Amino acid sequence: MSIPRNKVSRRHILQGAAAVGGAAVLGTLPRAAQAQSKGKVVVGTWGGDYARLLNKNIEAPILIPQGWEVVQDQAGDPQRRSKMLAEKRLPRGTTDIQGLSAVNMYQMHDAGIIEEIDYSKIPNSKNLLDSMKYPYGVGHIYSGKVGVYNPKAIDKKPASYKDVFDPKWGDKLGIIDIQYQYTLVAAALAAGGSISNLEPGKKLLLECKNAGMRIYPTNEAFAQGLKAEEFGIGVMWKARVVQWQNAGVPVEAITPSEGALAYVSGFVIPKNAPNKDGAYAYMNAMLDKSAQESFAIDMGYNPTVTNAAVAADLNKRIGFTPDEIKKLVNLDYAYMTVNDVPLKEWWDKELKG
């Protein structure tokens, strides 16, 4: 993905004067709202910019004034998914709502630990794109996996995943370790495979590895390498490219002719969530027009609601044309769920080893 991760679990208490477990106080309720407190909502989320922007665009301006106390439980998604599985048998879990990618939402659904969504409890869902309305989760923001390149280092603009994953680039090609799922699928599409046939992609990645391909541990390390001109071409979320461009990184993006892999970040509700009303309130707030528009500006991700207004110049940078939207490619969630462990083992032992 893409979205920033923080491996250290932290709680940010957004209401009241007390801090729990050393958490930072990020906001307080007005006196009127304090008198009408609706309860606490514990949100499982990645850390970094995403957590900060959840507070800035959803929690502080919408939920806290309504009387909700919002606590962020920050960690990487593997740790949070493991925690959800470990709590499966408990009558009450420790979180009310969890932020996950679309493929990981499916995995938790397949494991039988998340609630089926009652959209009648989310008034703002009337504006939600049909493609973002999952039976078991709600899409918050989305982007696509595009080809990225530094014009200073790459003499010919790529047009496809095939152009990107070309062994001829040698050490000018870079990939990101934490994005192994999407990188494998993108390479498979480049090599004539499919979303459920990744063997051609594995073969191509090994050819690229033998030619000198670089593997960066995180999105941030990838950006640093791109800025330092250690390499010149790879794949990344279009939203992140916009952030890098704003930060002065010399990078351009192309939508691959095979169709860009879609990335969706959304939220689910554990079946044993202590406060499901609070979880639904959170989902409704995240679909609010103002929150969606702010995320487009602050993070470069596309809104998932039809009533959000994105300025034409910003939409040109973060969005996709109608034809590109039609060609967006979703992962085969069932295939990835069944094969995730062996794919990760291959990645670590064969590609990185």
In whole angstroms, what is the distance from residue 42 CA to residue 21 CA? Answer: 14
Answer yes or no: are the C-beta atoms of 143 and 154 closer than 8 Å. Answer: no
Q: What is the pLDDT of residue 347?
A: 96
Q: Let me know how many helices (H) and strands (E) the chain has, helices first.
A: 15, 13
Written as six digits, the tokens of 224 are: 């640093």
Answer yes or no: are the C-beta atoms of 271 and 89 closer than 8 Å. Answer: no
Looking at residue 62, the DSSP 8-state letter turns out to be I
Q: What is the pLDDT of residue 101?
A: 92
Which residues are bridge partners to 141 per DSSP?
265, 303
- Report all structural domains of the chain as residue ranges with CATH numbers, in order of start: 10-142+263-325 (3.40.190.10), 143-261+327-351 (3.40.190.10)
Alpha-carbon torsion 237, 258, 176, 149, what sign?
Answer: negative
pTM: 0.77
Return the ∠ at Cα 298 (arms to 294 and 301), rounded to 5°.
Answer: 85
Q: In which element (H, E) is residue 334 found?
A: helix 333-346
Q: What is the pLDDT along the chain (353 residues), one digit of tens a residue?
A: 444 433 333 334 333 323 333 333 344 444 443 437 899 999 999 988 899 999 999 999 999 999 999 999 999 888 899 999 999 999 999 999 999 999 999 999 999 999 999 999 999 999 999 989 999 999 999 999 999 999 989 989 999 999 999 999 999 999 999 899 999 999 999 999 999 999 999 999 999 999 999 999 988 899 999 999 999 999 999 998 988 998 899 999 999 999 999 999 999 999 999 999 999 999 999 999 999 999 999 989 999 999 999 999 999 889 998 899 889 999 999 999 899 889 999 999 999 98
Q: Assign residue 21 a region: left if phi > 0, alpha if psi is -120 to 50, beta otherwise?
A: left
